[in-house]
């Protein structure tokens, strides 16, 4: 399997994306913003298809729109939580705009399919380089804001009293989410971004309440599910996105078994 260059690139790209999605996704689930993260991927679809009309790479259009969407959601602060209707309307509008842009430029319908459902086997070495740079920067920035982010997530009233800007933390974090979503789309697509951004994180949260252990477990689960999904796709000739989502759901389901509940103390 690894004799093929495109398979090597797929595993490398999948590893980078899974680590970033697992780490960022843990805090996304911890902050109860999973649906908002999903909406960002749909915002990115409008950006990706719109950028094609301008002759720009779909990935950069996707990234730009998700970042702008993340900033907008972050400015809402705590008002974003529970605003399912507003987020859902924005999600639908973004998909509608994407469909319009495709209608205006149907030549790129194949690229749209890759954006919607993912195509990790089609990642080029150039894409991999960009993903690696963005991934390293995202993890580095997440490390920098981790302490105030945890404080603002677990004890928002106390954090605000201590001078922590909850709105600034929300904006910075959702920018990180936007970048992670843009990268995850390359592997699992816009419609199934939950598989990497939420599935491993939700499973990790059910296994341990320790922050460091949870982040590490979420990243490990995302990597293992991605590797296994790519390998199974090679063996069966079925889409890797299908296998990744199936494995993500199965692992989460297994966490309901009492024996897999690893820890209960916060840290």
What's the pLDDT tens digit per position in 72-84?
776 765 555 545 5
**How open is the CA angle 66-193-151, to the nearest 5 degrees?**
70
Calculate helix-pair angle for 125-154, 58-76, nearest 10 degrees. 10
Domain residue ranges in the chain:
7-192
CA dist 55 to 48, 69, 118, 126, Å? 11, 22, 21, 18
What's the pLDDT tens digit per position in 143-160?
998 888 888 888 888 888
Side-chain half-sphere of 74: how many Cα atoms within 13 Å? 22
Range ranked top by mean pLDDT from 80-89, 90-99, 102-111, 129-138:
129-138
The CATH homologous superfamily to which domain 7-192 belongs is ABC transporter involved in vitamin B12 uptake, BtuC (1.10.3470.10)
Residue with tokens 């800007």: 165
Residue 39 has pLDDT above 90, yes or no: no
Confidence band of 124 (pLDDT split at 50, 70, 90): confident
Confidence band of 197 (pLDDT split at 50, 70, 90): confident
Q: Output the pTM of the full model.
A: 0.80
180-212 residues labelled b (16+ CB within 10 A) or e (exposed)? bbbbbbbbbbbbbbbbbbbbbbbbbbbbbbbbe
- Report which DSSP code applies to 249: H
- Report which DSSP code applies to 4: S
- Report which DSSP code applies to 258: G
Q: What is the DSSP string of 125-174?
A: HHHHHHHHHHHHHHHHHHHHHHHHHHHHHH-HHHHHHTT--HHHHHHHHH
Closest C-alpha to 66, from 165, 157, 183: 183
Pick the more confident residue, 73 or 19.
Answer: 19
């Amino acid at each position: 399997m690894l004799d093929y260059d495109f398979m090597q690139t797929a595993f490398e790209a999948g590893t980078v994306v899974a680590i970033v999605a697992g780490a960022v996704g843990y805090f996304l689930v911890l902050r109860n913003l999973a649906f908002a993260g999903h909406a960002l991927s749909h915002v990115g679809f409008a950006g990706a298809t719109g950028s094609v009309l301008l002759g720009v790479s779909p990935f950069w259009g996707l990234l730009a729109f998700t970042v702008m969407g993340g900033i907008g959601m972050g400015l809402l602060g705590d008002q974003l939580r529970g605003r399912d209707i507003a987020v859902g309307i924005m999600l639908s509008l973004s998909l509608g705009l994407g469909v319009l842009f495709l209608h205006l430029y149907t030549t790129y319908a194949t690229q749209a399919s890759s954006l919607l459902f993912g195509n990790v086997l089609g990642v080029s070495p150039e894409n991999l380089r960009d993903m690696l740079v963005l991934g390293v920067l995202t993890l580095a920035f997440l490390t920098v804001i981790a302490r105030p982010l945890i404080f603002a997530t677990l004890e928002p009233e106390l954090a605000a009293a201590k001078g922590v800007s909850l709105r600034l933390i929300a904006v910075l974090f959702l920018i990180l989410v936007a970048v992670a979503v843009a990268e995850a789309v390359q592997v699992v697509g816009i419609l199934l971004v939950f598989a990497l951004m939420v599935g491993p994180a939700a499973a990790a949260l059910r296994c341990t309440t320790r922050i460091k252990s949870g982040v590490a477990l979420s990243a490990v689960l995302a990597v293992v599910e991605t590797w296994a999904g790519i390998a199974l796709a090679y063996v069966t000739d079925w889409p890797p996105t299908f296998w990744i989502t199936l494995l993500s759901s199965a692992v989460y389901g297994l966490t309901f078994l009492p024996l897999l509940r690893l820890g209960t103390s916060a840290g």
